[in-house]
Each structure stands twice: as structure tokens, then as C-alpha cells.
């Protein structure tokens, strides 16, 4: 069965509640015909409002991060249960900015992933190599070791709500996109890795998104590739007229 493309917007630390409201007000009427699945991850503060405003539409709301713990004395943290109550359906885990600025290791991401899956939140697990690793020809090795450590001990039946996002760090926010061919090559390797580890059925159904400077000009070319099932979009998800173009260009 054809997979519907999945376009996920990651707003990062952008938009107040008021700005989020204005964004959705402009976006929603223009995507009502789109066949793509649409995800948006606003900041925590705007999550409940966005979930309210998108209820009954094609857009699903999720979070950009969450705590690995269920609850407790963890100042500043947000739990899976809190996110779900606020209307989150998914959570982005292991984004390279969390790995770099907040020192999240694969072990931490592994624990967050287990927590998210246990709480029935769909998890978008981000993997990807740095520019130096890419230039040294180590992309595959780096991505496989991230997958090994983040998916350790998990079984196929725990992973139906896993999405993987391949985001080469050198392409995030830089305007340098991986060519569709380079991205496809790594996506294929990820799918093959997942088939070997968790079986063909899971690997075939698995959504593998590409992220890193996706914009209206390159989205369709990337998504044309057989193993690229969607996109995780940062900068280009911040303006409704730009995000809408991406969604409509990949919605046949």
C-alpha cells in the first residue's frame, strides 16, 4: 500500500501562543485538500492551544522533547503523561540540537524512547552525522551506532509507533541539503538495518523522514525517492505560506 507522505514541522524555540494561533489560522484553510499527514511540534507553552485549534483537522500536534522519567523532582522537565493530556500525539527525540547543546547521549535518548512508547506516544527518533563524519565517509557507521544504542533491547512489537528521521547535522539550518541521491542511500541503509534487526514487515511499514534544509524547492525531489517517506522541517515550517507549499507539493 502507498504510504501517505508525512510532513512534520519542528518550530524549535519559536512562536508565542498568539503567534501560533495566527500561523494556524492562515495554514489550516490552505491544506484542507492535502493528502499528506501533517505534524507540528510547537514549544510546550503553545502545545495545548495548538491541539485545541487543530482538533478535527489533518494536523496532529506533538512535542519537541520530553523527560525520560514518569514524574518526580525534576525541575523544568515535562512528562509524557503531561504532554498527552495537553493534546500531544507524538514527540521528537534525540534531535541533534538536544544532543549537542544539552548533551543528550544515545543512552538518555534510549530511555526517553522507551518511556514514549510505553505511554503510547508516537516517537520520531532523530539520527544523523556531523559534517566531519560525513566528509570522512563515516555516515553509515555513525547512524548505525546511534540506532544500535537508541533501539537497544526493544522488540518489533514495541515499535509500531516509531518514526526515524535522518538528519545530517551539516544540513540543519545551513541551507546545505543532502542531495536526494545521498539522502536516499542512507534511508535505504536505515531500512535494511531495521529489516535485519526487527524484520521485513516493520521495516517496510516504517516511516523514515529526511530533515535538513527542506524547503518548497527541494521537498518533492527528496520525497520522490523510494525510501524517503516524509520530511522533518525546521526553518521552512515557521511561515504558513512556505510550510503550506511543502505540504501541497508532496500531496499528489
Q: What are the residue numbers of the active site? A: 95, 167
Residue 239 binds to ligand PGA (criterion: CB under 6 A): no
Q: What are phi and psi of 51, to 5 degrees?
A: -65, -40
Which residue in the shown chain puts its C-beta closest to ligand PGA?
234
Residue 97 Cβ vs ligand PGA, minimum distance, rounded to whole Å: 7
- The window from 78-86, 187-195, 197-205, 230-238 that contacts ligand PGA (CB under 6 A) reads 230-238
The residues pairing with 163 across neighbouring beta strands, listed in sequence order, are 124, 207
Q: How many whole angstroms separate alpha carbon 216 and alpha carbon 219?
A: 6
Residue 126, all three cell numbers: 532523530
User: Site for ligand PGA (CB under 6 A): how many residues?
Assistant: 13
Q: How many whole angstroms separate alpha carbon 197 and alpha carbon 158?
A: 13
Residue 222 binds to ligand PGA (criterion: CB under 6 A): no
Residue 104 binds to ligand PGA (criterion: CB under 6 A): no
Residue 62 Cβ vs ligand PGA, minimum distance, rounded to whole Å: 13
Parallel, antiparallel, or unpaired: how do β-strands 207-211 and 6-10 relate?
Answer: unpaired
Residue 175 Cβ vs ligand PGA, minimum distance, rounded to whole Å: 8
- In the list 5, 94, 235, 240, the residue contacting ligand PGA (rule: CB under 6 A) is 235
Beta strands in 105-200 (DSSP E): 122-127, 162-166
Residue 212 binds to ligand PGA (criterion: CB under 6 A): yes
Q: Which of residues 152-171 bind ligand PGA (CB under 6 A)?
A: 167
Residue 229 binds to ligand PGA (criterion: CB under 6 A): no
Beta strands in the chain (DSSP E): 6-10, 37-41, 59-63, 90-93, 122-127, 162-166, 207-211, 230-233
Measured at the alpha carbon of residue 51, what is the angle toward residues 50 and 52, in degrees to the nearest 5?
90
Q: Quick one: 79 or 248, whose CB is closer to ligand PGA? A: 248
Q: Which positions lie near ligand PGA, rule CB under 6 A?
A: 10, 167, 172-173, 211-214, 232-236
Amino acid at each position: 500500500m502507498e504510504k501517505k507522505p508525512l510532513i512534520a514541522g519542528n518550530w524549535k524555540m519559536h512562536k508565542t501562543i498568539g503567534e501560533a494561533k495566527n500561523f494556524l489560522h492562515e495554514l489550516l484553510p490552505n491544506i484542507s485538500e492535502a493528502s499528506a499527514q501533517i505534524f507540528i511540534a510547537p514549544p510546550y507553552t503553545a502545545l495545548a492551544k495548538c491541539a485545541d485549534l487543530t482538533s478535527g483537522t489533518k494536523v496532529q500536534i506533538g512535542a519537541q522533547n520530553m523527560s525520560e522519567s514518569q514524574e518526580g523532582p525534576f525541575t523544568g522537565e515535562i512528562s509524557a503523561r503531561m504532554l498527552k493530556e495537553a493534546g500531544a500525539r507524538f514527540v521528537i527525540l534525540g534531535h541533534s540540537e538536544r544532543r549537542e547543546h544539552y548533551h543528550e547521549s544515545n543512552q538518555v535518548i534510549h530511555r526517553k524512547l522507551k518511556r514514549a512508547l510505553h505511554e503510547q506516544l508516537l516517537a520520531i527518533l532523530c539520527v544523523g552525522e556531523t559534517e566531519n563524519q560525513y566528509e570522512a565517509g563515516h555516515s553509515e557507521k555513525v547512524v548505525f551506532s546511534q540506532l544500535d544504542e537508541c533501539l537497544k533491547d526493544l522488540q518489533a512489537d514495541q515499535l509500531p509507533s516509531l518514526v526515524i528521521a535522518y538528519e545530517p547535522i551539516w544540513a540543519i539550518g545551513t541551507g546545505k541539503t543532502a542531495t536526494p541521491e545521498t539522502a536516499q542511500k542512507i534511508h535505504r541503509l536505515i531500512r535494511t538495518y531495521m529489516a535485519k534487526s526487527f524484520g521485513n514487515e516493520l521495516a517496510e511499514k516504517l516511516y523514515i523522514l529526511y530533515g535538513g534544509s527542506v524547503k518548497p524547492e527541494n521537498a518533492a525531489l527528496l520525497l520522490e525517492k523510494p525510501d524517503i517517506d516524509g520530511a522533518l522541517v525546521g526553518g521552512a515550517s515557521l511561515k504558513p505560506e512556505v510550510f503550506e507549499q511543502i505540504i501541497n507539493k508532496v500531496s499528489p
